[in-house]
Structure 1
């Protein structure tokens, strides 16, 4: 009978290096540092050499000029987060979720664990492409996650109205609000931007337990106010809401009203923001104003019409009548111009007929950048330098409807040929909401 004691199984057998390290952590084998974690001061043991190899902070903690002795207290991190932090330090693998991402970011930032920060950033990329992008932007800004900040801001730029209407938007800090307001690519009206800003500064007063008055509103807004393009706000909203908000001084209000009547505004920017590319959210809508098509139109003089919309829209392009000949060579270009009542030029560019989309006898030509047109504001569209003989429209409508958008056309003194509300070269416009 064999009375020899049987040796225990070797736990290292068939384990990878990471498996062995995790086994030693979980079974507290040869641990040489003890942490007291969270409010409960739970005891968690680990290995100094492993932690020092992953984190400069831990290395300094153990081997610096004033190394920690005995048990190390970590009251600001809960035990689950710290356990996950150790798992990631030992194994490079841990589950990041909505429930723990904030606490893991805090712990990863505190101990300079780049792997933790990277995994949290990867997880948050998904939320950066939703209405919660404003929350992600705030998190990215707080923890210096530049890639995540870029992704969040891009989504906000491309979906501005949705993101600024989020309940979390008014809770942003001033640095995040500045990032948004400085952007040239916001895809909403300046009225929407201003509406958000007024809500934000009012909420900031409430958070700081301050009375909502002119002094406090201007103190909180600071330099941010200069980023709002007040002259581009819809006239009615500016008159009924902004001018009574206590945010602007009398001189500032007067300067905007004067801009509405053609004077230069030196206090605020009057340059429209331009969203990226011609493809904005939503379906491109097309309005044709003609009911009949004839041929034989020939004039390279200015064709012009005044128009306005009952809703704010993004003008994406114009529709002109096509040349009679399919081979126009270098003549297949024309000049497009858009101005407002104050003769501010929003667009002046040479467009290519041949790059447009054929709509039977008409051509839809996209602008280089979409242009935001405010509701009930009159604009003048001018098309000139059309050299080939083209089709033209007749029996045209002065009021055109597409879903709940109504476009009203009027005659313009800028028209130097026979284009007017009843006939002519300008066939319609392309837009989206």
Structure 2
């Protein structure tokens, strides 16, 4: 399993190698640059101090950057429904997954539009107020139906949107790729392609294709993804 850390604007990480299975030179619209797994001390700490010799005319300045605790805090917040204001109802089993609209809307234009639309469809009125008293668990949340994803895959995706990091494996890579395509997070698409390319080279494609079956009838991106997997696999086999 590869840990792909999405790079916050304040963090300087190694640039992710582009995938061989159809990179389309997309920019990173989300504001994050994906990176491969950090090594050594970089994995343990995301804190850095940079100093420069001030000129005689400039005051002394020290820049201090620490993002790991911020990521951990955001991950903790989205695990607590009472601290969130968006609730996704995901899949056939209608699993609730929570997020913060300020983060979601600023990370993805698609999320921004979904949230605005959900707010328009839930006007504040006497009827809605009365209903919210009967269902207090929904009263403080914008509710958005997400029907075409496996709940655990979408939970990983929402975690990535908030925290900038995700564990990509053979069972969730197709779902993450579809979500990245639908919600326009091109850095995550590149990370999924990179993981898949490495898996194909190692001959580990069976579980990827098996998990992709959940998405093939529902997502155009899944069809393209599987086609690229087969095409790249065939090219390696000669």
TM-score, length of structure 2 as denominator length: 0.49
Greater percentage in strand: 1
TM-score, length of structure 1 as denominator length: 0.28
Greater percentage in helix: 2
Question: Which has the bigger relative contact order, CA under 8 A and spacing at least 6?
Answer: 2
Bigger Rg, which one:
1
